[in-house]
Structure 1
């Protein structure tokens, strides 16, 4: 398995290096091939492809030897009756395409393994032995959410397995089932978000399945909306953007209506769901849906603003504006993104995860424009906001891409930063 994953990553790196050496953007290559930028991004990240014709087209466009992408026949001439698309690719690479998304990182820690085990079906594992009072459990769930919002991912990863075990144990007793299901759903939602930060897609699928089941048991529309939001995030991360947009649209249509009579928690859940629609739609290049979700989120934000790092935090005009910046970057509008980011840079954003997210998007925008020095400075600012957030795989990949682009090593500090993060160029 490790060999297959290594082969998929090697092919992705070969594609990325060829593109960077030709000073071409992902968007430019994708446009030449008639694909969306996300297709090229997916290949370069080493997540493989289920369509060998895509690899052939990329090899031709970037003048890469087909053998470098595992496209040469393994041995001898192909049988005249064999499917040329099937015999043309090394089997290990083809398997990697399907399995990488469901395989945790080879560098997974013991704490990570414990979290994944806590998500598996079957009898609940032994809890922490602490009091299983519902009020205490609610406080612990809130504390876990704060760890996420403050980007203390290491502590969160250690906390979640015991919290989930205690919640499952409490749910087995004759207690208010709907309350405990709601708390369990929130714990699973938090697990999903953490696993997505770590690029563990398989673990995220496990967690979001549990979150949806508990949300439905709770009967709470707020909990259900939050679980749908993280499910849409998982779908969008796997490039099922159309399905993610449909899911958000369907759920939001059932929840939207007269906002002035709703509770802050309800409005925050709806608003965050709409913002997930913004992310999914922009990631899929759907400008119309992106603008529609943004407009609705802005309307909801007129009635609620929760910017404290708790279970229902991070929704309000500021977070809507942050998502607008992110959407512009995803759509390739770097100049517009930087213009939209300027007022946010001067605004107080109390949640570290959101502050770091802003500066990472600013770095992406500068990178799109080829302004590596400005991108590097933005990443250093992001690190000052939330050091652990900058060490997640998505940011390390961005740094590695920037380093590869600086072929003349005009920014030695960027190369040092890359080494410190463990981002291979």
Structure 2
């Protein structure tokens, strides 16, 4: 509980930093909200330590109020210090302890499937063997089916499918050698679990899942599995406001895996390309334009040799996916015009993976919102809903809809307010 209290103290500290910066500039909450494109209530919540986990919002606040990024935890402190191995080790342990502490607190109103998944991820005694052993082929088919559920945004069914699949894979991996493909399948399922938990904004339990994914990836020794696990690890780091560490992790791993693309397998290239795109997301969330472009260029180079637009086992990588991440990066960097210009050709293109189609229209909605074009933003989100209904009900998207509705004070877009009520979020 002490770690949870520390997290709350950190949120309140960030709120005080934002409030002090606003007062120094002698600006009201309403004035800052107008500059940000949010409702005044959003600024009030931030100053009270609520909503400070959203990296994009914090970066916008830092820009509008001229707050150094390190003061909001978005960059390392510029103050030099002498490296102390003992202190570094203590910091690492504190970081891990805080992650573990959050595991004991499932999100409010957590569905039964979510709780079952969390239970399946917890440390447990070895599972008792069953009379009927499941073949590696059958397990592989079930893993591919789970990946399809994720890419088609059927998160409810995925949450039900993962716990028994984890149990069966753990039994099979316990009976096999360390180099067995079953270990790689188990790593993939842990990766999928982490991605699902991030969709549900459950970063604490995502840490546990990604820790297991990395352990199984190292045990497996397959560079494809390793790249996929690093990709998800970087995603969790970025979502937990450790964007610079996420960029470093992707860059370090990519240095070992890039090159000789014409002699690599499609799955190798797909896993590498997706990892590089996670670097794009982390770098753009950190406001690092140079690193964002470096990762985009390298990913585009990989995409010259592979195009796998199928909703299965991390294989949804292609030139289209690179362009989609260019849209997302432009939105994250506050370049709404560039984002929409990049998105328009994609809106007319066939994108087979529903999760990617929905992501395009959600990012377009964010870009329209940044420009104050709330009606266009609303229409983009409804298109996203038609692509993947469950994806639009994620906490991050619901927050976007609520902010857009709150800014429409004259109710010029009544459909937006109806949509807000439909999603069950207050404006």
Q: TM-score range by the shorter chain?
A: 0.7 to 0.9
1:206–1:100 distance in 2 versus 1, CA, 3 Å: closer
TM-score (norm 1): 0.80
Q: Aligned to 1:242, which of 221, 241, 244?
A: 244
How many residues are aligned here? 371
1:346-382: CA deviation from partner (whole Å, max 9, x where unpaired): 0000000000000000000000000100000000000
Pick the aligned partner of 1:302 from 290, 304, 320.
Answer: 304
Taking structure 1 as reference, are residues 233 and 119 closer, same or farther at Cα in structure 2, changes over 3 Å only?
same
Distance of 2:286 and 2:129 partners within structure 1: 41
Pick one of 280, 283, 291 that aligns with 1:281: 283
Which ranges of 4 or more aligned residues in structure 1 deviate by more than 2 Å?
3-9, 17-22, 40-44, 46-49, 96-104, 124-131, 174-178
CA contact (8 A) 2:336 2:368 kept: yes
Q: Indicate the residue corresponding to 1:402 in structure 2.
A: 404
Structure of higher RCO (CA pairs closer than 8 Å, 6+ residues apart): 2
Look up the SS of the partner of 2:35 in the other structure: coil
Give the corresponding residue for 1:263.
Answer: 265
Aligned to 2:35: 24
CA–CA separation in structure 2 for the residues paired with 1:289 and 1:144 = 32
Decide whether aligned partners of structure 1 residues 401 and 97 sit closer, same or farther in structure 2, where only a CA change above 3 A counts. farther
Instruction: Indicate the residue corresponding to 2:359 in structure 1.
Output: 357
Q: Which runs of 5 or more structure 1 residues have no equivalent in the other structure? A: 30-36, 62-95
Q: Are the aligned partners of 1:285 and 1:331 in contact in 2 as well (CA < 8 Å)?
A: yes
**1:212-231 counterparts in 2 under 5 A?**
212-231=214-233
1:327 is aligned to 329
1:424 to 394, 418, 426: 426
Q: For the aligned residues, what is the CA RMSD?
A: 3.4
TM-score of the superposed pair, with normalisation by structure 2:
0.79
- Out of 39, 51, 56, the residue aligned to residue 45 of structure 1 is 51
Secondary structure of the residue that 2:317 maps to in structure 1? coil
SS, match of residue 343 in structure 1: helix
2:122 pairs with one of 120, 123, 126: 120
How far does residue 415 in structure 1 lie from its aligned partner after superposition?
0.7
Shift of 1:126: 6.8
User: Aligned to 1:172, which of 152, 171, 174?
Assistant: 174
CA offset at residue 110 of structure 1? 1.1
Task: Describe the SS at the equivalent of 2:337.
Answer: helix
Please give the per-residue CA displacement for 1:199-220, whole angstroms capped at 9, x wherever unaligned: 0011100000000000000010
Conserved in 1, the CA contact under 8 Å of 2:420 and 2:426? yes
Alpha-carbon shift at residue 103 of structure 1 (Å): 3.9
Q: Secondary structure at the match of 1:23?
A: helix
Q: 1:156 and 1:266 mapped to 2: Cα distance?
A: 25
Deviations, residues 47-87 of structure 1 (Å, cap 9, x unaligned): 499xxxx9xx99xx7xxxxxxxxxxxxxxxxxxxxxxxxxx
Q: 1:43 offset after TM fit, Å?
A: 5.2
Corresponding residue for residue 92 of structure 2 = none
**1:109 aligned residue:** 111
1:191 corresponds to which of 178, 190, 193: 193
Structure 2 counterpart SS, 1:424: coil
